[in-house]
Structure 1
Amino acid sequence: MWAPPLADAPLRIRGLTKWFGDKQALDELSLDVPAGSCFGLVGPNGSGKSTTVRSIVGLVRPDGGSIEVCGHDVGTDTQGARAATGVVLDPLQLFERLTAREFVRTMGDLRGLDDEVSSGRADQLFVALQLIDDADRPISGYSHGMRKKTALAAALLHRPRLLLLDEPFEGVDPVSARTMRSMLDRFRSGGGTVVLSSHVMDLVERLCDHIGVIHQGRVVATGTTEELRRGRRLEDVFIDVVGATDSDTTSLDWLG
């Protein structure tokens, strides 16, 4: 699906292609993410969402195409692109034996932050994420929601311009989810941009002001949430766009 390029897009993807053996995961996928947006990346299982996210952060090497993060080409200026990006992947990438404070400050060291700056920001993030009372406990004893908040703190510590979130609220209780959403609002109010990959249409509909639908490795629909919905539920629009049909359950009459 072609769309005119945006003048100000912290994430630009052009012609992204990826094969895993004889299976094509990405088929010349192209996408622009508007600055300051909360951009929902949605698609069926196996559509290419996770491959796209992992290509952006350099964990997957595409077979073709290009990715720019805040003007930095991921293929030729990996360090510049990574410096502009924060990421929370699913499954989470945490060091279980460390405390949250140790883990986040270690991420600050890897990002080249001054110790004093890293420590001050970490404490501020822990307070805002309601994690300060548990910051010195090992991550191995954390609930799933606490782990997610720890990962979000580490992703925000270096003040990235682009934040990539893969299923950030999966398995998170409502209180933790509300706290995390508040943090994302604060991040965007400072000029940050969020790309959120999720299967949960109600969540995407509530949080995201722009949406891109991926199907069979291509972007098949993109625009503002209101443009795509046109008064309908996002779930219904999604099903129409990807051509899904209801399952035939007539042979399961014994379940009734």
Structure 2
Amino acid sequence: MSYGQQQVLHGISLEVRRGEIIGYIGPNGAGKSTTVKILLGLTEGYTGNVYVLGQPIRESGVAYKRSIGYMPELAELYESLTAREYLTFIGELYGIDGAEADRKAQRMMELLGLDDVYDARITSYSKGMKQRVLLISSLLHDPDILFLDEPLSGLDANSVMIVKELLAQLAGQGKTIFYSSHMMDVVEKISSRIILLHNGRIVADGSFKELQESSKDASLEELFNALTGFHEHRRIAEELVEAMREDGR
């Protein structure tokens, strides 16, 4: 995939199986978002073939999207709507009866501690509350594949524990989770398979244990730094501290 003269993805080739939790990681600009947008049918102009649920997406139209849930890192919610209005609308887009979508959404809001603001306008929500609404919107239609981009951003500790357990249970039911995050400790713990993208190419693919054994690195963060060639974090931090202490003389 290229944007003008800039090639963003270089021969990406992978197969994702049912029930896997894929930790899809890489530095900013590595091509993670572009990959996901291609899989979601939001970006065209790429070369090669993409199959979702066994079908080529170029020929599937929008039909396959009914089996996909997507939680972007930054989403433009219709904040003038209440959560009831927004989630019922999303449910109907996926073909769920309005009353059924309302019932499911209200139950999920209750479970995530938002039942008292179900009829409040989303503009009054905190970032963490909006994140929980986005999560519900991605789950409402019981998708087979779930794409999550930084889903834990802004969530409190209790919500983080719920989401981590939720993903494990969904994977146990055969759902496929495609998870992108910069929180290496979370990716390390929840992923059954980790794919590391660097400069548009896959440079590592395997379970954390397999990647750890191949590189002799103790943590995913250390592995990430080793494979992406970034070793400047300590020096940059030290220089930032020095810059803070400069008094202008």
TM over 0.5: yes
Which runs of 4 or more aligned residues in structure 1 lie more than 6 Å from their structure 2 counterparts after TM superposition? 250-253
Distance 2:155 2:241 in 1: 35
Counterpart of 2:58 in structure 1 is 75
8 Å contact kept, 1:57–1:82: yes
8 Å contact kept, 1:69–1:84: no
Report whether the alignment pairs 1:246 with 2:229: no
8 Å contact kept, 1:68–1:81: no
Richer in helix (by share): 2
1:180-222: CA deviation from partner (whole Å, max 9, x where unpaired): 2233233223321111101111111122121000011111110
8 Å contact kept, 1:87–1:165: yes
Please list every run of 5 or more consecutive structure 2 residues that lacks an aligned counterpart in the other structure. Answer: none
- Amino acid aligned to 1:83: R
Of 41, 48, 51 in structure 1, the residue corresponding to residue 34 of structure 2 is 51
Counterpart of 1:13 in structure 2 is none
Q: 1:170 to 1:62 in 2, by over 3 A?
A: farther
Q: 1:173 to 1:66 in 2, by over 3 A?
A: same
Paired residues in the alignment total: 239
Counterpart of 1:114 in structure 2 is 97
1:106-147: CA deviation from partner (whole Å, max 9, x where unpaired): 011111112233222212222222222211111111111111
- Amino acid aligned to 1:232: A
Q: 1:33 to 1:198 in 2, by over 3 A?
A: same
- RMSD after superposition: 2.0
How far did 1:88 drift? 0.4
After TM superposition, the structure 1 stretch with the greater mean CA deviation from structure 2, 124-133 or 47-56, is 124-133
Using the size of structure 2 for normalisation, the TM-score is 0.88
Using the size of structure 1 for normalisation, the TM-score is 0.86
Distance 2:150 2:44 in 1: 22
After TM superposition, the structure 1 stretch with the greater mean CA deviation from structure 2, 200-209 or 246-255, is 246-255
- Amino acid aligned to 1:38: I
Of 172, 178, 188 in structure 2, the residue corresponding to residue 195 of structure 1 is 178
Distance 1:99 1:219 in 2: 41
Q: 1:63 to 1:99 in 2, by over 3 A?
A: same
After TM superposition, the structure 1 stretch with the greater mean CA deviation from structure 2, 50-59 or 112-121, is 112-121
Please list every run of 5 or more consecutive structure 1 residues that lacks an aligned counterpart in the other structure. Answer: 1-17
Identity of aligned residues (%): 34
Of 137, 147, 165 in structure 2, the residue corresponding to residue 182 of structure 1 is 165
Distance 2:80 2:183 in 1: 31
Distance 2:157 2:241 in 1: 36
Of 76, 94, 115 in structure 1, the residue corresponding to residue 77 of structure 2 is 94
Q: Which has the larger radius of gyration?
A: 2
Distance 2:24 2:38 in 1: 14
- Which residues in structure 2 correspond to 1:1-256 (within 5 Å)? 18-230=1-213, 232-246=218-232, 248=235, 254-255=242-243
1:80-100: CA deviation from partner (whole Å, max 9, x where unpaired): 321111000121231111111
Q: 1:253 to 1:38 in 2, by over 3 A?
A: closer
